[in-house]
A and B are shown apart, each in its own frame.
Chain A
Amino acid sequence: MFSIKDLTIKAQDKELIHNLNLTINDGEIHVLMGPNGTGKSTICQTIFHHPAYEIANGSITYHDHLLNDLTPTEISRLGLFLLNQNPIEIEGITNAELLRNALNEKNDTPLDIFKFNDELNEVCKIIDLPKEFVHRDINYNMSGGEKKKNELLHLFILKPSFIILDEIDSGLDVDALKTVGEALKKYYELYHPSILIVTHHNYLLDYFSSYQVHILKDGHIVQSGSKELAKQIEKTGFEANIINDNKKYE
């Protein structure tokens, strides 16, 4: 189980998230939606302890490990994976080198380089990325869509059990959306991870049969629901839905 309790996040002394609560059981898919600038990426980065954000209150736990005091390395090794909204480029380090080092450090047994190469080729086919990308520098000079697929390459090789996808669908063309949707579905069927999907659209969600939706506004979750909520939001926007919902309580 992954759980966020009473989480307050600050950056530069400004409170960005206030009293956030979220529980995701193993194998569940949760979707986080919300207007621009409400703190969705902030939450994703804070789970991994990005130095820009401070946990002012509350706790984040995964499988009984308190993440608050762990380093990004330790958090990753518990099985968490973050796919960034804007993946950074690192010139001079190739995907292959990155993944080889990550696996070598994590595992006690040395990496079987033949198996590793075969697997890389296999994954490239699944995500429709030319094999040469394995030897390209991390996201360097890649197009927006290629970067997202490149990050999926990392995901498939590292095999996390808890995945955070921060707008993986932004910047993808129709064919790429289809490839990414199918790849994620395949990954889900193979490994049954928990997934937190941050998105503004329903397209990728349609690849999954069930999921829960949460709407983030003013630093906390204002509404939770199922599939229909995500559909409704995409159709009529946040304002209409949240206001309607408030009226229910009046």
Chain B
Amino acid sequence: MTIKNMNKLSLVGETSNLQDTNAFITINEDTTLNLSGKLTLYNYDTHNYNLELNLPSNTNCYLNLVKILTKDNYLNLNIGNDNNFTLELLIINEGNNNFHLNINISGDNNNVIIKARIINKNSKSSLNLICDGKVLTNTKDNNFIEDLKGLVTNTASITIKPNMFMDTNEVLANHLVTISSFNPDELFYLTTLGISLKEAQKMLINAFIYSIVNPIFKDLLNEEVIDIE
């Protein structure tokens, strides 16, 4: 499948309600989305609009978001009761930027999975990802997983600050943060098969990117060349 034959949805206006949708969405200004039902959403963001997502109750949502980050911005996520939410986020960062990911769980019985993969476009870039997860008092039966990974491919830097504020013991929270460079054993393996170091690094970057990004983004991402140093 490609984006061409994907259901497309342009969101105009500050607030939109989305229900039972499977679509590639485009956003053109700071936006609040009220989500309900069963949704699978794809978004490729080069403009860095701030986004607020509300899932009051009984919503099942998967969001695959690719951000070509060129300025500070945020994503707020407000979760009520009985929701399943999975975010798979790729950030390709250019410049010195902060990205805030705020997750507020105010109700019960939610499954929230936040997966992010981060990479800098060139050596002049640095990214600071601040991930604040809050689970409020008196809530119960929440499952909250954060899995944040940065791949350092050049002299640029990545910092990830995962903050979890748990006002309750009735939550199963798990977070995993890793920032690493290329795995030397993988580079060794690929080069012993005659692949050049540069090409091996490119292949590993692609593997990293497509571990989180749906192949429908391929055409758009092909233009993003990442500097390796």
Taking beta carbons and an 8 Å cutoff, which residues of A are in contact with B? 48, 50-51, 71-73, 75-77, 81-82, 84, 87-88, 90-93, 97-98, 101-102, 105-106, 138, 154, 158
Contacts and interface: CB of A to CB of B under 8 A. Distances in A.
Interface string B4-37: 0000000000000000000000000000000000
Secondary structure type dominating chain B contacts? helix
B191 A76 contact: yes
A81 to B, nearest CB: 8
A92 B197 contact: no
A167 B208 CA distance: 31
Interface string B169-200: 00000000000000011101111111111010
A98 B193 CA distance: 9
A97 B202 CA distance: 12
A90 B207 contact: yes
Nearest to B186: A90
Given A73-B194, A93-B206, A158-B194, 16 more contacts: A48-B188, A71-B191, A71-B197, A72-B192, A75-B192, A76-B192, A76-B194, A81-B193, A90-B189, A92-B204, A92-B210, A93-B204, A98-B203, A101-B195, A101-B199, A102-B193
B190 to A, nearest CB: 7
A91 B192 contact: no
B190 A98 contact: yes
A82 B192 contact: yes
Contacts of B207: 90-93
A97 to B, nearest CB: 7
B211 interface: yes
Contacts of B211: 91-92
Interface residues of B, number: 21
Given A93-B203, A93-B207, A72 B196 contact: no
A77 B188 contact: no
Given A91-B211, A93-B203, A97-B203, A105 B189 contact: no
A151 to B, nearest CB: 10
Interface string B203-221: 1101110110000000000
A156 B207 CA distance: 25
Contacts of B191: 71-73, 76
Contacts of A81: 192-193
Contacts of B188: 48, 50-51, 72
9 contacts: A73-B195, A73-B196, A76-B194, A81-B192, A84-B189, A90-B204, A93-B204, A93-B207, A98-B193
Interface of B: 184-186, 188-197, 199, 203-204, 206-208, 210-211
A72 B193 CA distance: 8
A215 B126 CA distance: 53
Contacts of A50: 188
A77 B192 CA distance: 9
Contact of A92 (B184, B190, B196, B208): B208
Contacts of A84: 189
Closest 8 pairs (CB-CB, A-B): A92-B207, A76-B194, A72-B191, A72-B192, A73-B191, A102-B194, A48-B192, A93-B207
Contacts of B199: 101, 105
Contacts of A48: 188, 192
Contacts of A71: 191, 197
A72 B180 CA distance: 22
A48 B193 CA distance: 10
A138 B189 CA distance: 10
A3 B207 CA distance: 37
Nearest to A82: B192
A190 B189 CA distance: 26
A77 B191 CA distance: 10
B197 to A, nearest CB: 7
A105 B195 CA distance: 7
Given A93-B204, A101-B199, A101-B203, A88 B194 contact: no
A77 B193 CA distance: 8
A77 B186 contact: no
A193 to B, nearest CB: 15
